[in-house]
A and B are shown apart, each in its own frame.
Chain A
């Protein structure tokens, strides 16, 4: 049973481009969470999704950020018109219902 898979592991984007981060949850997990970690800081919750539904997006910036978890395929965190301040590590976690979440290795986004 593979763990939570995130890709790409590293992503470089120029200012103004779009960044797409993918997360494939563990088999059988229907809950996905995205977190952002700025340098030298802890992880900050962004959004919680179940299949085809956004359950809690209280940590998402109001603009340029969106997330989805379609019926088929990975969860996608999308950042439009990236700025330097978006440079961070983005972690995805998945869990089955009411159970401990497991984290992926993260995607490190660098905006140049």
Chain B
């Protein structure tokens, strides 16, 4: 079964609006990470939030983590056309510390219209 599930699957907004994507997972985690992938390109690491953290900010990004609900959200504020991409959450469920074995969600495709 899929560890990470994201919603919505697709999101279309106007430039300047905020975009919120959600991710749910099933098992206990060490950390949860968000990645961006432009069409046909590689993954760009956006932010990592550890299981003992509840909120983290990086520029226009805000990530929350609720381990009791096994869910996370990614908020992009003041969106730009360049934010158009697919966004994936990924959970690290292995051992202690941070490792590279990640379980990815199906992704949310974000389109920001100029």
- B and A form one assembly: yes
- A102 and B102 CA atoms in complex are apart in Å by 12
Indicate if the CB atoms of B101 and A45 lie closer than 8 Å: yes
Q: What separation, in Å, do the CA atoms of A44 and B48 have in the docked complex? A: 19
Q: Which residue of A lies closest to B107 (CB)?
A: A42
Instruction: For B4, list chain A residues within 8 Å (CB).
Output: 42
Q: Is the interface of B mostly helix, strand, loop or mixed?
A: loop
Chain B: number of interface residues, binned into ranges: 20 to 34
**Total cross-chain contacts (CB, 8 A):** 59
A1 at interface (Cβ–Cβ under 8 A)?
A: no
Residue in B45, B48, B103 whose CB lies within 8 Å of A45 = B103
Binary interface profile of B, 81-109, with partner A (CB < 8 Å = 1, else 0)? 00000001010000011111111111100
Question: Is A54 among interface residues, defined by CB-CB distance under 8 A?
Answer: no
Any chain A CB within 8 A of the CB of B43? yes
Least Cβ–Cβ distance between A112 and chain B, in angstroms: 18
Are the CB atoms of B101 and A48 closer together than 8 Å?
A: yes
> In whole angstroms, how far apart are the Cα atoms of A45 and B106 in the complex?
13
Chain B residues contacting A48 (CB-CB under 8 Å) are 100-101
Give B6 Cβ to nearest chain A Cβ, in Å: 8
Question: Does A94 reach chain B (CB closer than 8 Å)?
Answer: yes
Task: Report yes or no: A100 in contact with B104, Cβ–Cβ below 8 A.
Answer: no
CB within 8 Å of A: which of B54-84? none
Q: Complex: how many Å from CA A95 to CA B102?
A: 12
Contacts A41-B106, A42-B88; is A101 near B41 (CB within 8 Å)? Answer: no
